[in-house]
Amino acid sequence: MFRVSGLTFSFGEKPLYEKVNFVVGEGQKIGLVGPNGSGKSTLLNILIGREEGYNGKIETRGSISLVPQEVKYDADMLASETVREYIDREMKFEGYELHKLFAGLELDTELGANPNKLSGGQKTKLALARALLSRSDTLLLDEPTNFMDKAGKKWVMHFLSEYQGTVIVISHDLELMDKAIDKVLAINPVTKTIDEYKGNYTQFLRLKKEKEELVKRQILIKQKHITRMEKGLSKMKRLTSGKGVRRRVQQQRRIEKEKLELPALPLDVRKIKMSLPEPSKVGEIPIRTFGLSKSYGDLEVLTNLDFTIIRGERIALIGPNGSGKSTFIKILMGIVEPDAGEVVINPQSKIGYYSQEFETFDFRKRVIDAFVEDTHRDEGFARSFLGRYMFMGDKVFQRIESLSGGEKTRLSIAMLTAKDNNLLILDEPTTYLDVLSQRIILETLKEYGGTMIIVSHTQEFMAELAPQKALLFPEGKMVYWDTDLLDRIIEV
């Protein structure tokens, strides 16, 4: 349970919330929503006590656990050498209890495995397992289905429907937000307030639209009234007596007061302006592999994998969490060394890479410096181009480590689209993004004429992108993509 009174918090000079009040009751399932960078993750950190420097009062009851958005940077996970150490440091549970929980999560790993070697989806499942074992009264979940396969998402939704405690969840998964929540807290970046709506996400969208339409009507009525007052003031200019001057001043003050009392306009829907340049020429085979094999300890991830992509093809990598998709991509990019085999890249290939874990970023750098260094463009171009991805004003001078997950995604995509690539390798490119941004990326990729290798667990996204082929993991088998195959592959 939470009772928040008068919460005010700023990030640097940017205010996120001003005198916010809300209550979360016992057993409620809350969806926390707002644009990328509006302070959703920050609010969860404030509620659990990891973020200080706020004004106001926060009352809590019972124990609280947080599953953060970017689990790979969780200090406890980084400090753990084994899965057992991370999820059950005090050895409270028997091995069979933990394996039973792992089976429910379809988490195919051993207690002695290094958690930092797991895939993004597996790390999220581990963090969830740890939170569940804590038996907390309240769970704070920041994008709990990110990087997850269908089985993982299904398990999370089932768990939330059965869980008796309080939950506050941030998610861009519309199905989860419709099925798992009964109230929405919406951060309003214009008013710096948090608005409450009863119902699930679809009901929230309807109520929010109705509220915005009402505000717009109120503004229109007020503006018409102010216009009439200003016309009256204009006629008063002919009054030159002392009494007439006083009337003019009083009217001017009334007009200024009316303008100050105008309701804040609803936030305009801001969207990224994404485009991809025409791909430059490349040979018939941009990239291929021969006999790739890779193991982590006793876990064999890739076995003698031969892979070829033809110029202009789109190939989807399909498989459950931990089956080797991201490892395969990292080997293609030279980030991970294979145990055996080789990667052959055409000299004309210009690769644009999007990583789900942002490992190519130097998090200490400012946004504009990272962009200039990566794209070899000047600051003038950088500021203009970054503006298309909603990095406005002083936002370009923020350090990358301070950005939200959605903002990091937008920066990575901005860097990718500013360069002349002819082969895109995309590992979960829509993670952390709002629905509108996901749609813009999808439409842009559908029009792209270059070569593409892509991983995504978003079913609708993959269905519309319609790649020509799919590489199935862990089998390493290439198949042609068609509508019949789509249904079977999505169930993987």
Alpha-carbon distances, residue 325 vs 405, 460, 470, 479 (angstroms): 21, 19, 12, 16
Are 16 and 155 within one domain? yes
> What does DSSP assign to residue 32?
E
Across the chain, how many H-helices and E-strands are there? 16, 18
How much is the average pLDDT of 284-300?
Answer: 91
Are 310 and 436 within one domain? yes
* Cβ(107)–Cβ(72) below 8 Å: no
Q: Encoding tokens for residue 265?
A: 């306009």
In a domain, 100, yes or no: yes
Are 236 and 130 within one domain? no
Mean pLDDT, rounded, of the chain = 85
* Cβ(383)–Cβ(456) below 8 Å: no
Are 163 and 251 within one domain? no
In a domain, 280, yes or no: no
Are 110 and 145 within one domain? yes
Are 221 and 301 within one domain? no
Are 214 and 198 within one domain? no
User: CA 132, CA 138: separation in Å to the nearest integer?
Assistant: 10
Picking from 181, 204, 227, the residue at the C-terminal end of a domain is 204
User: What is the per-residue pLDDT for 102?
Assistant: 78
User: CA 235, CA 237: separation in Å to the nearest integer?
Assistant: 5
Residue linked to tokens 């305009």: 268
HEC string for 357-397: CCCCCCCCCEHHHHHHHHHCCCHHHHHHHHHCCCCCHHHHH
Query: In this predicted structure, which of 101-105, 220-224, 363-367, 475-479 has the lowest mean pLDDT?
Result: 101-105
pLDDT at 108 over 70: no
How much is the average pLDDT of 343-353?
Answer: 95
pLDDT at 492 over 50: no
Q: Report the length, in residues, of the chain.
A: 492
User: What is the per-residue pLDDT for 406?
Assistant: 85
How much is the average pLDDT of 181-192?
Answer: 89
How much is the average pLDDT of 241-264?
Answer: 75
How much of the chain exceeds pLDDT 90, in percent? Answer: 38
* Neighbouring C-alpha atoms within 13 Å toward the C-beta of 145: 27
pLDDT at 140 over 80: yes
Are 98 and 4 within one domain? yes
Return the closest-CA partner of residue 439 out of 272, 200, 266: 272
How much is the average pLDDT of 291-315?
Answer: 92
In a domain, 94, yes or no: yes
Q: Encoding tokens for residue 176?
A: 């989860």
3-state helix, strand, coil in the chain (%, to 5): 40, 25, 35
How much is the average pLDDT of 237-245?
Answer: 68
User: CA 189, CA 441: separation in Å to the nearest integer?
Assistant: 24
Are 200 and 215 within one domain? no
What would the DSSP string read from start to end of 2-25? EEEEEEEEEETTEEEEEEEEEEE-
In a domain, 467, yes or no: yes
User: CA 406, CA 412: separation in Å to the nearest integer?
Assistant: 10
Range of the domain at 245: 209-267
What is the count of structural domains for the chain? 3
Encode pLDDT of 358-374 as tens digits.
888 999 999 999 999 99
Nearest-5° angle of CA 490, CA 344, CA 423?
55
- The maximal CA–CA distance of the chain, rounded, in angstroms, is 97
> What does DSSP assign to residue 399?
B
* Cβ(205)–Cβ(183) below 8 Å: no
Residue linked to tokens 């005010």: 8
How much is the average pLDDT of 49-68?
Answer: 90
User: What is the per-residue pLDDT for 469?
Assistant: 92
In a domain, 385, yes or no: no
Query: In this predicted structure, which of 128-142, 236-250, 427-441 has the lowest mean pLDDT?
Result: 236-250
In a domain, 279, yes or no: no
Q: What is the pTM of this model?
A: 0.65
CA-CA-CA-CA torsion sign (444, 446, 449, 453): positive
Are 120 and 150 within one domain? yes
How much of the chain exceeds pLDDT 70, in percent? Answer: 93
pLDDT band at 44 (very low <50, low <70, confident <90, very high): very high
Are 34 and 92 within one domain? yes
How much is the average pLDDT of 457-479?
Answer: 86
Return the closest-CA partner of residue 33 out of 138, 161, 121, 143: 143
pLDDT at 36 over 60: yes
Are 21 and 125 within one domain? yes
Give the CATH number, domain containing residue 189: 3.40.50.300
* Cβ(36)–Cβ(172) below 8 Å: no
pLDDT band at 463 (very low <50, low <70, confident <90, very high): confident
Q: Fill in the amino acid letter for 49.
A: G
User: CA 264, CA 250: separation in Å to the nearest integer?
Assistant: 25
User: CA 458, CA 384: separation in Å to the nearest integer?
Assistant: 31
Picking from 223, 241, 267, the residue at the C-terminal end of a domain is 267
* Cβ(423)–Cβ(285) below 8 Å: no
User: What is the per-residue pLDDT for 268?
Assistant: 52
Encode pLDDT of 396-439 as tens digits.
999 998 888 888 999 999 999 999 999 999 998 988 787 778 88
pLDDT at 263 over 70: no
In a domain, 377, yes or no: no
Picking from 204, 222, 248, the residue at the C-terminal end of a domain is 204
User: CA 355, CA 136: separation in Å to the nearest integer?
Assistant: 33
| Phi, psi at 184, each rounded to 5° | -120, 135
pLDDT band at 350 (very low <50, low <70, confident <90, very high): very high
* Neighbouring C-alpha atoms within 13 Å toward the C-beta of 446: 12
In a domain, 347, yes or no: yes
How much is the average pLDDT of 156-182?
Answer: 87
